Amino acid sequence: FPTDRRAAPPGRPGVAPPPQPTAPPDLPARGNGRHRAPALARTPAGARLERPPPTATASATATASAPPTASTPPAPPAAPALPPVPVLERPEVPEERRQCGVCGRPVGRGRDGRPGRVRGFCPSCRTPFSFSPALAAGDELAGYQIVGCLARGGQGWVYLALAPDRPPGPGCLPASAAPARQWVVLKEGLARSRSAAATARLALTVAHPVVVRTLDHIERDGVGYLVMEYVDGRSLREVLRERPAGPDGRPTPLPAAEGVALLRALLPVFGYLHARGLVYCDAKPDNVMVSSRGPRLIDLGALRRLGEPGGLVHTTAGYDAPELAAGGPPTVASDLYALGRLLAVTVLDLPDRTSAFRHRLPERDDDPTLARYAALDQFLRRATDPDPGRRFPNAAAMAAELAVTHREITAIDGIDGTHGILQGSVMTPQGGGSSR
């Protein structure tokens, strides 16, 4: 999930640091500031763990071996051991990476030798921010057992949790779809009265094979949490950060064929959403997970109905269409603009996507990728045209043009249609599944 995974000093001011779950003997901790979560952990509601939790094998064996009595119903079958998942040992966001999740301006920065605030309000747009996790390992939230932080997203922390083996507690949506005793992800965001719950209910209606399922929504102490299925893999943002360095020391972009193949896999999702009167609003590399099974779109926390008046529109600088930056409502055209920008950031060298290149592309002669592929240059300029009326009218038209672009790129490079980060996945023009 999207991320800031740097390590920092343990604990929070005024609060004793909770004990960290230890890695099983056969799964040594990684050396990148993360440790592996135990296979299974149980804790009473509202309690913190005071000792390392039992392993899945121990809990399952004890439950299965206890004979039922006349007053005790038979125990359910033992749950299978869950795969280990790395979580952050010391979650913190360095000051130089603290930005407003709405307008992208710096927040929480120190001055005059004093450290920056970890909680406050953006001085530009007045959106509240918090860079201190509200939940710790061992906490329980509406039946979900928190294991640790996975990452820091644009609006808050992303937590790994264990779904309850009973109906969710107060604060959950009645129709919670969280699978019992399975890993889930809780994404922290600011609860905004009725709008947060309304967005969650919209997200619960989305069912597409390329979208990570939203399972539940919880609110506590003024903070909302979207509960989503856990999907292994890396975010596209991580993939881009880990690319080999170029002559200037910055990561090189993805090859054009890989970026185009990835966007072709994502476009059917947007056709599916738009056909149902919904707009995604916040397409960006952080919200795309990549694995050997193909890309998945995550985080429906910015989902809105087309034409819905008022409310806060969640976008990200560098991917927001000019009309959104000017205060206009999200539309199909603004969603497709964000996808065009996502492809541009993925395959072009854009040293500053939030200012000089926020709403424009390099000249063709100034970028080697655009100079090599005329069809890609034409596609990106139409997709990110400042005038919404000159962009692609819908996702299907954009996909058709992108297929032509893909064929030109693969012909020039002498390669087939499945590449790099998508190898091992089933790549078709429908992205591995048709819209339902």
- Cite the active site residues: 282
Q: How far apart, in whole angstroms, are the C-alpha atoms of residue 278 and residue 205? A: 11
CA 6 to chain centre: 17
